Chains A and B, each alone.
Chain A
Amino acid sequence: MTAPDRKLAEALRLMSERRLAGLIIYSDGTCNILRASYLRYFAGVAPMGPNSAAVIGADGRVTLLVQPAWDAARVRRRTWIDDVRGADGMAEELARALERLGIQGTVGLAGGREMPHPLYDALSAAVHMTPADDLVEEIARVKSAGELALVRKAAAAADAGFEAFLQASRAGVREYEIVAEVEYAMRCAGADDNFILLSTGPHNRAMRAPTDRQVAEGDIVIGEITPVCDGQFLQLCRTVVVGAPAPVLVDRYALLVRAYEEAVGCVRAGAPASLIASTIDRVLTDAGYGEFCRPPYMRTRGHGFGVGSVAPGALIDADTHEPLVDQQVVVVHPNQYLPETGYLACGETVLVTPHGAERLARTETRLYAKP
């Protein structure tokens, strides 16, 4: 069974289980690291928006409606869905699609929290809608070979991005110039989008968008390097010191690496995700930094990416009791503010397997010094 066939078969099975007459998977055209795009996952193509939707009937017929209408030819080339239509008026086209597919009664709605009120209101006149985000999440629990290949492609792009980050981190460079070089390297390595946050200075407080600030000798440059390949994210959290690192920095970064390695050692299918957070917190608490294991000194100890992962983009903390699942892509990052060094970035993305975590990037998690 091909990956699209499996997606559709699973959707139909779950719709039947829930007695849904149909399923609408909606997108407002955004690509959000914190909220997975169900339509992009299901259709296999990123919509431009502002309104696009797949409509699935109980008999297996699927229609994909896209805006702007002139983008239909591109979408048709890239999706497995045969019936792709440009939809200038989304409310009217959705109503027509529901009628054409014979859908009446209760319909599942995935991506509904993105749907603007006027469209939701118009649809409500035709069918009764019930939230179905979890239905798509369940379909996505199993990754296809193609999706795993994209994850590995993103890992290679992240390595290229880090090499550019390391090369660009030098005295005199402006923060936004570093981002330009990292983005360039990752796009050349096959990334189609990027999520890059950084900070520079002798004592950083958090990561953010780049400014005009010029890097100075002795600065610590921290970055979250996150390429995207066709909807699959991968993240490296890296710290580079411009010049010789102070002994206290070397020592404290080694502490973060130890926390990272112990946390990654806990990752395996079936283990609770909370182990990632509790392990990192334990290592730091044992070293006397327990009071810094909370915001604003840290944000999260890890998160998943995309549809079908644990806590996509949000946070894994001691209350994230969901078990990790085979083939989930999870970032483990003890990114942390320490009083002696400021905020440090440390961590990377792993693939969950039944036997443990598989590292995806080639570059090493350690403190890098740029002489």
Chain B
Amino acid sequence: MHTLQPTLRLGRDVWDRAAMPVDEFRARAERLRTAMAERDLDALLLYGANLNGCGHPTWLSNYIVKLPFAALVLLPRDGDPALMFQGATRGRSAAQATTWIEDVRPCWNIGETCLAALEDRHLTGARLGLAGLPRLMPHADWRTLAAGLAGAALVDAEDLVVRCRAIKSDREVAQIRRASAIVAAALESVLHSGSFAGESELAAHIMRTARIRGAEDIRLLIFKSGDADAAFRPVEDAALTEGETIAVLLSASRERYWSEAIRTVRVGGDRFEPTESQAADRFAALVDGLRPGTSIPEWSSATLARMTNLEAAAVRTYGLGHGIGIEPEEWPALSDTEETAIAPGMCFTVRTVIESDGGLIWQGDTLVVP
């Protein structure tokens, strides 16, 4: 789900090579090269920008942007890849410590730098597959890049990368489970924390709990049924009122991989109380239906049909869920217009809602399709 992006990804930044060895990234490169060969592509350009949209280059390189800038990986079908990122040259050694790619090029003009890397590999007139380009690239950078590639054949190849990323490896699943443990612990801690004066203190507590367990990036939204035009939103400088119901949506990443969950609590006098279990029961039924081979549109339609009009309208606003992994929101969306079947290795964040006397009760979790 969309959230405010932080100024800086300020949490624990570690590359655990036992959990995610170089072989994992080489295997990803080989999967892409096989797909490139099928489409007769000489090279692939994987572009990403900002803290939410850098999935393509991060998936292949393990490099993450910490400020809202761009990164790009050039993967030739034959030869060594190159990583380019927006930043000062002093950032080169720190970047090299997080990636297996040897050709690392910090820059401010990513279009010019990409052209230089292509020139070095004699690929400026080649058949190039594009992922994230020009969809995410600022106009000025794209103009530079496109002008320099006037002699190349540019082919949209984003689906190739997206589909590779959607099926998680065992190591990726293990990372997502670790991120999920952080999210679960942080949300559970609310029930054992006593009371908070306001929304900001509640958020500060949850974020501290996640951060101290190793969260790299954290996003938090709340939903108060009592708000006029109630919607998920960032916390504000507002009090918590006894008896009100609050849903907390928490996303956190650990070593690049995200997990998301929603829990709804009721504000008691001196503590938070869990809400009724109906939402959990409905959630269990939803998850049970997400099996390999299931058509996403059929599952989505059947799920929405079991809801009241109010519930269906509420959940449609944000969607029933979507893929999750190296980005907080990935393909495929769990939507009645997404013509895709569930496959083993896919990871989803799934959300549902149920009406109650105290307002809407939201529940969400991240799960792996076995």
- Assembly CA distance A73 to B66 (angstroms): 30
B14 at the interface (CB under 8 A from A): yes
Which A residues, 190 to 213, have Cβ-Cβ distances below 8 Å to chain B? 190, 192-197, 206, 208-212
| Contact partners of B52 in chain A: CB under 8 A | 29, 49-50
Also in contact, A116 and B10, with CB within 8 A (given A30-B68, A32-B68) = no
* Closest Cβ–Cβ distance, residue A300 to chain B (whole Å): 11
How many angstroms between the C-alpha atoms of A118 and B133 in the bound complex? 10
Report which of B4, B10, B204, B237 forms a contact with A184, defined as CB distance below 8 A: B204
Asked if A177 contacts B212 (CB within 8 A), the reply is: yes
- Whether A180 is near chain B, meaning CB under 8 Å from some CB there, is yes
Contact check, A190 vs B14: say whether CB atoms are below 8 A apart: no
B208 contacts A34, CB within 8 Å? no
Between A29, A113, A195, the greatest number of chain B beta carbons within 10 A of the residue's beta carbon is seen for A29
In the complex, whether A159 has a CB less than 8 A from a CB of chain B is no
Asked whether, in the complex, the Cβ of B233 is within 8 Å of the Cβ of A74, the reply is yes
- Across the interface, do B68 and A211 meet the contact criterion of CB distance under 8 Å? no
Interface size on B, residues (CB 8 A): 52
CB neighbours (8 Å) of B10 from chain A are 179, 183, 194-197, 209-210
The docked-state distance in angstroms from the alpha carbon of A95 to that of B285 is 44
Once the chains bind, are A210 and B12 in contact (CB under 8 Å)? yes
Q: Is A156 interfacial (CB-CB < 8 Å)?
A: no
What A residues does B53 contact at CB under 8 A? Answer: 50
Complex Cα spacing A50 to B3, Å: 10
Chain B CB within 8 A of A187 CB: yes
Decide: B138 and A117 in contact? CB cutoff 8 A: yes
Least CB separation from B137: chain A residue: A117
**Chain B 41-84 interface mask (CB, 8 Å, partner A; 1/0):** 00000000111110000000000001110000000000000000
Q: Are B207 and A187 in contact (CB under 8 A)?
A: yes
Query: Within residues 161 to 203 of chain A, which ones have a CB less than 8 A from any CB in chain B?
Result: 175-177, 179-181, 183-184, 187-188, 190, 192-197
B136 close to A (CB within 8 Å): yes
**A29 near B8 (CB under 8 angstroms)?**
no
Contacts of A206 in B (CB 8 A): 90
Cβ–Cβ contact B14 & A212, under 8 A: yes
**CB-CB contacts below 8 Å: B205-220 with A:** 205, 207-208, 211-212, 214
B6 near A31 with CB under 8 A, answer yes
CB pair A194–B233 under 8 Å, yes or no, is no
B38 CB–A CB distance under 8 Å? no
Complex CA gap A71/B232 in Å reads 8
* Other-chain contact of A208, B94, B203, B231 (Cβ < 8 Å): B94
Contact of B204 among A120, A187, A210, A212 (CB under 8 A): A187
The listed residue (B7, B90, B137, B211) touching A193 by CB distance below 8 A is B7
Q: CB-CB < 8 A to A71: which residues of B? A: 2, 231, 233
* CB of B5 within 8 Å of the partner chain: yes
| A132 touches B (CB below 8 Å) | no
Residue of A nearest to B201 (CB): A188
Q: Is there contact, CB below 8 Å, between B8 and A196?
A: yes
Shortest Cβ distance from residue A228 to the other chain B in the assembled complex, whole angstroms: 6
CA distance A25 to B242 in the complex (A): 41
A-B contact pairs, 19 of them (CB 8 A): A31-B6, A33-B67, A48-B4, A49-B2, A49-B52, A71-B233, A112-B139, A116-B134, A117-B139, A117-B143, A176-B214, A183-B208, A184-B211, A188-B204, A192-B234, A194-B6, A197-B8, A209-B12, A296-B90
